[in-house]
Every structure is written in C-alpha cells, then in structure tokens.
Amino acid sequence: MGYSIVQKIIKNHLVSGEMKTGEEIALKIDQTLTQDATGTMAYLQLEAMEIDRVKTELSVAYIDHNTLQSGFENADDHRYIQTVAKKHGLKFSRPGNGICHQVHLERFGVPGKTLIGSDSHTPTAGGIGMLGMGAGGLDVAVAMGGGAYYITCPKVIKMNLVGALSDYVSAKDVILEVLRLLGVKGGVGAVIEYAGEGVKTLSVPQRATITNMGAELGATSSVFPSDENTYKFLKAQGREEDYTPLSADSDAVYDAEYTIDLSALKPLAACPHSPDNVKIVSELSGMKIDQVCIGSCTNSSLSDMLTVAAMLKGKTVHPDVSLSISPGSKQVYTMLAECGALADLIAAGARILECACGPCIGMGFSPKSAGVSLRTFNRNFLARSGTADASVYLVSPEVAAASAVAGVFTDPTTLGSAPKIALPERFTINDNLIELPASVEEAANVVVERGPNIKPIPKGVAPAKNLECELILKVGDNITTDHIMPAGAKILPYRSNVPKLSEFCFTVCDKEFPARAVAKGGGVILGGQNYGQGSSREHAALVPLYLGVKAVIAKSFARIHMANLVNFGIAPITLKNEADYDLIAEGDKIYIEGFADAIKDSESAMLINKTSGKKIPLVLSFSSRQREILLAGGTLNYTKAGAK
C-alpha cells in the first residue's frame, strides 16, 4: 500500500508513536512562525524554559496583528518580540512587511517540510506542499527549543478536483464549496489532501487560499502536491533550490474521498455567522451592502489584488460603500505600485490599509451599526468585525469588487469576460524588513526590552483530589475562541497582560462572566459540540486559567483548543452521553470524586450534580503524556520537572 502526501511527510518526521489513525504521534518540526497577538506569550514561555537559542531550521517572528498603535502597549510588545528574536536566533519580520502566512509562503515555505505556527491559519503553507499546522504558543515554544510536536495521527481525506474554474469563479469558491460539503466540524481529526487533474490548473496562491480556510473545517491541516506550478512559483521568488517534487503514490489509500468539479462551481458566499453557511451569490443578488474589505491571509496575494484592480479600473466605488484593501505583503504592495494597479485602486475610491491583518481581526474598519459587510476573509463569527450587530459575508475578491461598484451583492459572472491575470516570471524581491538574529557570540549582549504591559504568565496547578465547585458558565455548540477571548482593537493590546485581558473573557456570551468567575473562585464551564473552534489563541485557555477554571466539560472539542487547555492544566472532559448536557444548569453545584486519580489513569469519571442529584458519566480521553501534563498543572511545570 502506498502513501499519501500527508503520510509521506509524517513518516519523514516521526519522532515517536505509530503512524496509525487516532494514535498520538510526535513530529520533528522544521520551521515555526509566530505573530504578535500570540507571540509575546510564546517567547515568554521560551524564556521560562531557559532556552538560549532556537533549534529549528528556521523560526520567524512576524508583526502583523497588533499594528494599530493607539497606545504604548502594541509598540512595547513589538519591541519585546524584536529583541527576544534577535537574542534567541529568530528572524524578525518588521511591521509593514506583511501578513505572516503570505510572507512565509513567498519567502520561506519549503515543500515536504513541517511548520507549526501560533496562528490557526498556518495550514496556508499547504499550498506550497508543506505540512503546516496551527498550534498554541506553548507548543511552538517547545518546538523552537527542539522538542517534538504532539498530535493525534490524522485521517486523510482526499479531495479530488476535476475540470477548471470558469470566469469570475475563484479559489475562494472552491474552499467555500468544501465547507458547504463538510461543515465546520467536517475536518476534525483529519488532513485534507487535494488531488486530481484540476490541481494542475491552480497556482500556488490559489492553492494557499484553499488550504488557509481549511482551518474553518476544523482540519489539522490541508495540503497540495508540490509540482510544476510549485516550481514556477518558487523560481519566480528566486528560491528554486527549495523545490522538491511531492505527490501521493498511485495506490495510496484514504479515509474518505470527495470529488469537486471546478467547472461546475459558481460564485459562493458564506452568510452570517459561520463559514459553512454557504449560498450561491446569485441568490443574494440585489442585497444592499455598506462595506467591502479585501485582503487577509486568505485573499491578499498579488494575483488577487491585480484581479481587483483590473475590475475597478475606470470605475468608482458606490457612494454608499466603504472599500478597504489590505495588500498581503510589502512585495505585493510594491508590485502593485510598480505596475500602476495601485493607482487604479486609489482612483476608484479604495482606502488602502497597511500590509497587516487589520479588519479581519477587528483591528479597525468595523462596519456601521447593523451594517452588511462583504469580506474576502476566512471568518465571519458573530462580533468578530468589532460591530456586534453587523452581518458579515465571506466572498471572493471577484464578488467583492463587483459588489463594491454596484452597491449591492453582485454576481460577477453577469459582467462579461473576466480579466486575465498571470503570475509574474519574477517577483520583486526585497527582504530589507526581515531582520536577522544576532550571532551566538553577539546574543549575550542583546538586552530584551519589556514594557509595563507585559505581565507574568499565570501558573497552572495540579488537580485537586476531589473536584467540588460550581458550574459558572454554560454555552452552546460551536463556541469559538472569539467567544472565549475576543480580539479587536480595544482588546488585542492586552495580549501580554492576562489580568487585564480577563475582564473581556466570554463577554460576547455573558458580560457578567469575568466578575462571576472571580466571585465564585473559579469553577467549571460546560460547552456543546466543537467547543473552542477557530483561532489557535492560547489566551482562550490562559485567561480561564487565571479566572480559576478547573475543567471544561463539553460534547466535543476543537483540536487546537483542547491541546491548549491541557497545556495550561485545564482538563478538557467530554460527556459520555451528549443528552446529559441538559442535566446541568449554570449555577449548579457539581462534584467529581477522585478527580486527580481519574486524570492519572482512568478513562471515565462520574459527575454528581449536587443541586439536582443527577449522576452524569464523563469520558477522560487523554494520552499518557497528556495525563502527566495535567497532573503537573500544565506543560511549563511538566517541562521544568525534566520531562522529555
């Protein structure tokens, strides 16, 4: 039996465990990346582990999230990351150089390598044939220190692409179709591997759009073959020496297979408030819109921007619409300026933002009250835009551009022939905003600068012999990390300040939660299915730890968030019977006898609802390593105790 692409990469990086679906395995990590919303914690953890020099082939610290400097906090964090990177051997991508995933694809991605990043959209690198995975900052810190990255060996889902895209139908429509097919939980425990003749029709930037939004499926990663198109892209970036061909064996066996006919696709849109709430754009045609945002790590490549510029040339954005454009990197921005496309965008009335995540994480450009915003982004979770009652639709650059001019939702296939955009034979290459680290000898003299907003990391504690507390919050299905720990311009500056950040925890769901958690001395949270989907932000575990959360009980968990909970000593426990969710109410007194012993060596435990008298069986599905981490009160304590 042959191997899939995913299995080949895993096999070449396997440190321990067996390559069997569902088994815990440890992987050697070649590259890491961080961004500034999660990076400060990752580097504080790296320092706490007393690691002098990163041991990966390449580690890059990017500044792309907290770039709106309305106070000293973000600037202080940037300087901390810059100096800690210089001291510990990382490359540093300065503010303005671009979004981490776009820049990494352009300048650092290598087919066949492994990459983890403290950002859930790290699978973008799968567009170039890497196994890229989102992870919590602590897992990234461990990898930078030379440690392995532990995951459950994934299933592999083959997504067979046939045909070719029609005019005005793009890569965004491909991944929206996958989301329509599988849903936001359809990729949990799996890697999506793209194959088929249709793959050959897609450029690396198009493939990266598709792998980027694989994160919204809950997938561990997504990956494309490394082929002639990969070589063409790398050569245009002056990196042809990084090319390695990589494809699945003809007799590879997959856990599931689907086929998508690219030629049959139509422009699609994800409707509020979930990326899998997908409709055909023609069904939405004529709906009045207020705002259009083009960019993000999903759709900010040069080809996307050139397409938009060509569609807007000689036209004017509708007077009722505000249009923002965020180029994905300095390279993209520069080349738009060099060819005149930037002038076309400006002339049309687009507001050009810096090369950063920006509106995608609620960092400015929030819609008006009850506004309708079309975005080429990857998430449209409730209130993520910064406006609680806004309706956000996820669309392709083509739909976004057409609608911005018309002032209403517009199907671009009604506009005639689409502009033909080809990738350049050579990209403009200027890495002057990527700083190199100090040498080993020079590093001793580098002083790491820490602003007053950087506070110590909360410390996890070992589980109590018996767990007796109150259920301090009950939430429903598909709770995202944006629900648990919101982003946005008002909150992101406190990413390094957990005590301050705690004031915002779960306030999207319940404005009284932080105060109640403090008053009750912590407790337990109950969630529904797919608890913790979305971002890799470990603050969604760190802040509940600070507020005294001892365990989270749910119907099921998203992969990265479950790992983050374990990393900080919060037990993620599942209900044996999902119907028992209805037997616990917020405020109930709950009791688990032998809690610590159950974590140590049991697959089950019994929760007694002391308020109602009901008994509820629980499942403790942990690996032996995870049990040791929980008993130690988290990975930092576990690592300090000398665990390998």
- Tell me the range of 36-45, 302-311, 413-422, 629-638 where mean pLDDT is highest: 302-311
Query: Are 253 and 376 members of one domain?
Result: no
pTM, full prediction: 0.93
β-sheet with 351-352: strand ranges across: 278-280, 268-270, 391-394, 372-375, 291-294, 322-325, 351-352
Tell me which of 640 and 520 has the higher pLDDT. Answer: 520
Query: Are 352 and 393 members of one domain?
Result: yes
Query: Are 135 and 194 members of one domain?
Result: yes
> Could you tell me if residue 335 is inside a domain?
yes
- CA 530 – CA 525 distance, rounded (Å): 14
3-state class of 260 per DSSP? strand
Asked whether the predicted pLDDT for residue 640 surpasses 80, the reply is no
- CA 630 – CA 30 distance, rounded (Å): 27
Boundary residue ending a domain (219, 234, 264): 264
CATH number of the domain within which 375 lies: 3.30.499.10
Q: Are 618 and 604 in contact (CB under 8 A)?
A: yes
Strand partners, 573: 553
Burial class (CB in 10 A: 0-12, 13-18, 19+), 500: middle
3-state percent helix, strand, coil for the chain, nearest multiple of 5: 35, 20, 45
Asked whether the predicted pLDDT for residue 98 surpasses 50, the reply is yes
3-state class of 466 per DSSP? coil
3-state class of 342 per DSSP? helix
Share of the chain above pLDDT 90, in %: 91
- CA 339 – CA 355 distance, rounded (Å): 18
Q: Which of 376, 196, 215 is nearest to 301 (CA)?
A: 376
Task: Dump pLDDT digits (tens) for 451-485.
Answer: 999 988 888 899 999 999 999 999 999 999 999 99
Asked whether the predicted pLDDT for residue 284 surpasses 50, the reply is yes
Sign (positive/negative) of CA torsion 459, 463, 464, 466? positive
Boundary residue ending a domain (373, 390, 414): 414
Show Cβ contacts of residue 372 under 8 Å, excluding neighbours closer than 6 positions: 287, 288, 289, 290, 291, 390, 391, 393
> Could you tell me if residue 457 is inside a domain?
no
Biggest alpha carbon–alpha carbon distance for the chain:
72
Query: Are 247 and 323 members of one domain?
Result: no
In whole angstroms, how far apart are CA 332 and each of 103, 203, 503? Answer: 10, 16, 38
Name residue 39's amino acid.
G
CATH number of the domain within which 507 lies: 3.20.19.10
- Give the residue carrying structure tokens 């440690």: 147
- Per DSSP, the residues of 472-539 read EEE--TT-BHHHHS--STTTGGGTT-HHHHGGGTTTTT-TTHHHHHHHHT-EEEEE-TTBTBS---TH
Q: Which of 79, 136, 125, 85 is nearest to 101 (CA)?
A: 125
Query: Are 259 and 280 members of one domain?
Result: no
Query: Are 59 and 105 members of one domain?
Result: yes
Mean pLDDT of the chain: 96
Q: Provide the pLDDT for residue 490.
A: 84
Rg (CA), the chain: 24
Structure tokens at 474: 């009950």
Sign (positive/negative) of CA torsion 297, 303, 308, 313? positive
> Could you tell me if residue 440 is inside a domain?
no
Task: Dump pLDDT digits (tens) for 237-268.
Answer: 999 999 999 999 999 999 999 999 999 999 99
In whole angstroms, how far apart are CA 422 and each of 7, 204, 306, 415, 487? Answer: 33, 12, 9, 20, 36
In whole angstroms, how far apart are CA 589 and each of 3, 24, 40? Answer: 51, 34, 37
Structure tokens at 395: 């669309």
Residue 528 sits at the vertex; the CA angle it makes with 527 and 531, to the nearest 5 degrees, is 70
Structure tokens at 461: 């504690």
> Could you tell me if residue 142 is inside a domain?
yes
Task: Dump pLDDT digits (tens) for 340-354.
Answer: 999 999 999 999 999
Q: Which of 48, 105, 43 is nearest to 79 (CA)?
A: 43
Asked whether the predicted pLDDT for residue 555 surpasses 90, the reply is yes
> Could you tell me if residue 434 is inside a domain?
no
Boundary residue ending a domain (236, 264, 292): 264
- CA 502 – CA 499 distance, rounded (Å): 5
How long, in residues, is the chain?
A: 644
Q: Provide the pLDDT for residue 1.
A: 83
Average pLDDT over residues 378-405: 95
Query: Are 280 and 253 members of one domain?
Result: no
Residue 336 sits at the vertex; the CA angle it makes with 333 and 337, to the nearest 5 degrees, is 90
Q: Provide the pLDDT for residue 492.
A: 85
Q: Provide the pLDDT for residue 643.
A: 45
Q: Strand 278-280 and strand 268-270: pairing?
A: antiparallel
Structure tokens at 222: 């997504």
Q: Range of 389's domain?
A: 268-414
Structure tokens at 248: 């699945």
Query: Are 134 and 241 members of one domain?
Result: yes
Number of domains into which the chain is organized: 3
- Per DSSP, the residues of 7-66 read HHHHHHHEEES-S-TTSEEEE---EEEE-HHHHHHHHHHHHHTT--S--SSEEEEE--SS
From its phi and psi, is residue 74 left (phi > 0), alpha (psi between -120 and 50) or beta?
A: alpha
> Could you tell me if residue 517 is inside a domain?
yes
Q: Provide the pLDDT for residue 642.
A: 67
Query: Are 584 and 532 members of one domain?
Result: yes
Query: Are 225 and 370 members of one domain?
Result: no
Banded pLDDT at 644 (limits 50, 70, 90): very low
> Could you tell me if residue 420 is inside a domain?
no
Tell me which of 382 and 132 has the higher pLDDT. Answer: 132
- Give the residue carrying structure tokens 């989102």: 134
Q: Strand 190-195 and strand 523-527: pairing?
A: unpaired
> Could you tell me if residue 244 is inside a domain?
yes
Query: Are 221 and 325 members of one domain?
Result: no
Query: Are 525 and 558 members of one domain?
Result: yes
Q: Which 8-state DSSP code applies to residue 420?
A: P
- CA 328 – CA 431 distance, rounded (Å): 15
- CA 194 – CA 158 distance, rounded (Å): 6
Indicate the Cα dihedral angle 225, 228, 230, 234, nearest 10°.
150
Task: Dump pLDDT digits (tens) for 107-121.
Answer: 999 999 999 999 999
